[in-house]
Amino acid sequence: MNENNHKELETIDLQQVFQKIWQRKMLFAKVLPVVFILSCLYIICIPRTYTTNTKMAPELDNPMAGGTLGDIASSLGFNMGDMQTSDAITPLLYPGLMEDNKFVTDLFDIQVESMDGEIKTNYHDYLEKYQKSPWWSHAFAWFKRLLPQKEDKIASNIGKQEPNPYILSRKEDEIVKVIQASIKLNVDKKTGVITINTKAQDALICKTLADSVRTRLQAFITEYRTSKARNDLEYYKGLMEEAKASYEKARRLYGSYSDANSEVILESYRAKQNDLENDMQLKYNNYTTMVTQYQAAKAKVQERTPAFTMIKGANVPIKASEPKRMFFVLGMLILGIFCTMCYIYFSLK
């Protein structure tokens, strides 16, 4: 059996194969123009999309960057400071925000404007009404509308005062998926640099989207990093206001009592006046203590507020990134040549 296969392999004459292919060169003249025309017609129908990106580096709350332990680790050649933070949400988890409906639906109200100025709307309406698609997508959608549709029992959240991002209608869920496919967040594990990649069918909208996502991400990081400090600030603010009200009440009581008994020399009146004065002083001391705590809490909020360094701003892309029309047509021509050669080769047998 192996000897027969070996003999068959020896009988293949490559020169003869190429001669047969050359003899049927007119077949290429028929196939390649058809492949060229069909591939051009197909790729022209695919809408062009643009991509851009922006990079930023957030300040990290790094408890291990210094100190004795960090110095010992550095002397041994270990970098214990990279991406180490006391926060529960580390920068490595930021890309997961695009999987959260709350973060994605907050992007619905981004105001976008097309390069030619003809489209001025929010991002949700842009995706719903102004997206281009190939003709066969419209044909498929028309055919789908002819079929019986299941009733969407979930009402739209758009326009509601308090929309629930985790209860979406079918159309809103589709838009969320489109946004998740159009925006990508990447974090460099070594440097902590966050890269935001965006994709859109308009160059200016693509840039606007990248800038808006960067701003929303900065706001999210700032809100998370300062959440405990802001809660403490509100707590001390309440205590300060209570202490102030209590002090002002004691001051008014002391003042009115002193005015009403300014000429009284009885010791009982003076003793009560001293008690009121001491009570006022205690409440004043408590008030000044709360003011100090409140000011310290305000400083803590400022201390916890991270600084952001924009390493690369988003630019308006000049050329479309997809589809690669020339490469697609060239690839289809190469595939056509290969398939034609295979057809001629197997037809020799």
Over residues 169-191, the pLDDT tens digits come to 888 899 999 999 999 999 988 88
Distance, CA of 227 to CA of 100 (rounded, Å): 19
DSSP element (H, E) containing 312: strand 308-312
DSSP element (H, E) containing 269: helix 267-304
What the block records as the tokens of 155 is 């009402």
Query: Smallest Cα–Cα separation from 334: which of 10, 32, 114?
Result: 32
Q: Please determine, for residue 69, whether its predicted confidence score (pLDDT) is greater than 50.
A: no
Q: Which pLDDT value is given to residue 4?
A: 52
Which single residue is written with the structure tokens 């690669």?
Answer: 324
Distance, CA of 148 to CA of 198 (rounded, Å): 36
Q: Which pLDDT value is given to residue 300?
A: 92
Rg, C-alpha atoms of the chain:
36
Question: pLDDT (tens digit, 9 = 90+) per residue, 282-329?
Answer: 999 999 999 999 999 999 999 888 888 889 999 999 998 888 889 999
| Phi and psi, residue 20, nearest 5° | -65, -40
Query: Smallest Cα–Cα separation from 209: which of 89, 316, 294?
Result: 316
What the block records as the tokens of 275 is 């008690």
CB 20 within 8 A of CB 340: no
CB 46 within 8 A of CB 134: yes
DSSP element (H, E) containing 144: helix 135-146
Q: Which pLDDT value is given to residue 157?
A: 67
Distance, CA of 196 to CA of 58 (rounded, Å): 13
Q: Measured between alpha carbons, how far is residue 12 from residues 8, 49, 203 in Å?
A: 7, 48, 55
DSSP element (H, E) containing 247: helix 227-260
Q: Above pLDDT 90, what percent of the chain? A: 40
pLDDT interval class at 260 (50, 70, 90): confident
Q: Could you state, in order of their start, the residue ranges of all structural domains in the chain?
A: 24-46+323-349, 52-61+90-226, 229-302
- DSSP state for residue 31 in the 8-state scheme: H
| Phi and psi, residue 312, nearest 5° | -145, 125
pLDDT interval class at 1 (50, 70, 90): very low
| Pairing of β 111-113 and β 50-58 | unpaired
pTM of the model: 0.74
Residue 160's CB is within 10 A of a number of other CB atoms, namely 9
